[in-house]
């Protein structure tokens, strides 16, 4: 069984529509795929229909924007009921925050000499989620940055002219939505937050206390070393372990179907899933 439990479509900041994501996952040998768009579950119905057609088990998911100690972290909800009212009310509030932030990013970029960034990013988004990724794509397309990575660094991250600090929701709030909707809460790509060893342990301890179920051990954005480190930490903090590429499209950092297996000492997040027994 090949699992990929972290992917995006063009309903958030991925580039492929749900049908194309599923076709590519099928071609790559993925058997169980979670769609985890940022703060939005609108793509799940189309993905589920396409998955049924090719024999992929589609796990309804979401990647929730969370603030922990004034830092943004991402919490995956896996196996959530997409229509659950409490989850949807929560995600809708996050999208309002996103929309306000997008306006503010546009305004600040305007002052920094970048014209029409809000309109440009919104047009590129074309859907319910306007992400910094869409601003980065606009900045690159309009010639303000050489590529996405540089667009983030020069315009969108802390200290840059288009950086807008936001407070999302607390970990326990996001975890509460996920649990109310019947899902499992998994800390996404823990190595990406650039925390010191002490702060990583603080985050894992807090995530555990807040009711978190697991962490991503295998991630498209983890090095071999990160995977080993978080295998040990998952054990120590008694977390289930998840695996996901964080695929955003053909220009993503890792293609579908290319993840290493979960180490044998991990307890997989899917161990009790009926669809995957």
Q: Which residues bind ligand AMP (CB under 6 A)?
A: 13, 38, 65, 131-133, 148-149, 152, 248
**Least distance to Mn ion, CB of residue 214, Å:** 15
Q: Which of 19, 3, 146 lies closest to 11 in space, CA to CA?
A: 19
List the x/- string, 32-61, binding to Mn ion by CB under 5 A.
Answer: ------------------------------
The item of ligand AMP, Mn ion, none sharing an interface with residue 152, based on CB under 5 to 8 Å by kind, is ligand AMP
| Shortest-Cβ-distance residue relative to Mn ion | 74
Report the residue number, 86 or 147, with the smaller CB distance to ligand AMP.
147
Residues 57 to 76 in contact with Mn ion, rule: CB under 5 A:
63, 74
- Give every CB contact of residue 30 below 8 A, 6+ residues apart in sequence: 2, 3, 4, 56, 256, 257
Residue nearest to ligand AMP (CB): 131
Residue 228, binding choice from ligand AMP, Mn ion, none, Cβ under 5 to 8 Å by partner class: none
Of 72 and 83, nearer to ligand AMP (C-beta) is 72
Under rule CB under 5 A, which residues in 2-31 are in contact with Mn ion? Answer: 13
Residue 146 contact among Mn ion, ligand AMP, none, beta carbon within 5 to 8 Å by kind = none
Q: Which does 65 bind (CB under 5 to 8 A by kind): ligand AMP, Mn ion, none?
A: ligand AMP
Q: Which is nearer to Mn ion, 80 or 274 (CB)?
A: 80
Q: Which does 222 bind (CB under 5 to 8 A by kind): Mn ion, ligand AMP, none?
A: none
The nearest distance, CB 160 to ligand AMP, in angstroms, is 11
Q: Does 98 bind Mn ion (CB under 5 A)?
A: no
> Smallest gap, in angstroms, from Cβ of residue 277 to ligand AMP?
32
Write out the chain in H/E/C secondary structure.
CCEEEEECCCCCCCCCCHHHHHHHHHHCCCCEEEECCECCCCCHHHHHHHHHHHCCEEEEEEEEEEEECCEEEEEEEECCCCCCHHHHHHHHHHHHHHHHHHHHHHHHHHHCCCCCHHHHHHHHHCCCCCCHHHHHHHHHHCCCCCCHHHHHHHHHCCCCCCCCCCCCECHHHHHHHHHHCCCEEEECCHHHHCCCHHHHHHHHHHHHHCCCCEEEEEECCCCHHHHHHHHHHHHHCCCEEEEECCECCCCCCCCCCCCCCCCCCCCECCCCCHHHC
Task: Considering the complex, state which of residue 152 and residue 207 has its C-beta at the smaller distance from ligand AMP.
Answer: 152
Q: Considering CB distances under 5 to 8 angstroms, the limit depending on partner class, which of ligand AMP, Mn ion, none binds residue 226?
A: none
C-alpha 55/C-alpha 38 separation (Å) is 25
Q: How far is CA 30 from CA 1, 3, 168, 224, in A?
A: 8, 6, 32, 21
Closer to ligand AMP at the Cβ: 26 or 38? 38
Work out how close the CB of 37 gets to Mn ion at its nearest, in angstroms, rounded to a whole number. 8
Positions in the binding site for Mn ion (CB under 5 A): 13, 63, 74, 188, 246
């Amino acid at each position: 069984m090949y699992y990929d439990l972290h992917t995006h479509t063009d309903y958030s900041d991925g580039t492929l529509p749900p049908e194309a994501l599923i076709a590519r996952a099928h071609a790559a040998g993925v058997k169980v795929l979670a769609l985890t768009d940022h703060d939005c579950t609108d793509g799940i119905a189309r993905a589920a229909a396409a998955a049924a057609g090719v024999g992929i088990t589609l796990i309804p998911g979401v990647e929730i924007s969370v603030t922990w100690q004034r830092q943004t972290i991402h919490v995956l909800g896996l196996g959530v009921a997409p229509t659950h009212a409490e989850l949807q009310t929560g995600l809708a509030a996050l999208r309002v925050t996103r929309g306000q932030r997008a306006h503010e990013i546009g305004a600040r970029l305007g002052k920094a000499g970048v014209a029409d960034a809000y309109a440009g990013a919104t047009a590129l988004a074309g859907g319910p989620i306007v992400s910094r990724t869409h601003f980065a794509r606009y900045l690159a397309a309009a010639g303000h940055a050489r590529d996405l990575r540089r667009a983030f660094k020069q315009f969108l991250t802390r200290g840059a002219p288009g950086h807008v600090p936001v407070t999302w929701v607390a970990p326990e709030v996001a975890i509460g939505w996920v649990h109310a909707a019947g899902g499992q809460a998994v800390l996404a790509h823990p190595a990406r937050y650039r925390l010191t060893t002490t702060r990583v342990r603080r985050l894992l301890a807090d995530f555990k206390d807040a009711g978190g179920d697991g962490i991503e051990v295998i991630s498209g954005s983890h090095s071999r070393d990160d995977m080993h480190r978080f295998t040990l930490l998952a054990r120590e903090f008694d977390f289930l372990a998840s695996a996901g590429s964080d695929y955003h499209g053909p220009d993503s950092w890792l293609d579908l179907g290319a993840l290493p297996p979960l180490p044998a000492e991990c307890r997989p997040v899917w161990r009790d899933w009926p669809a995957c027994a």
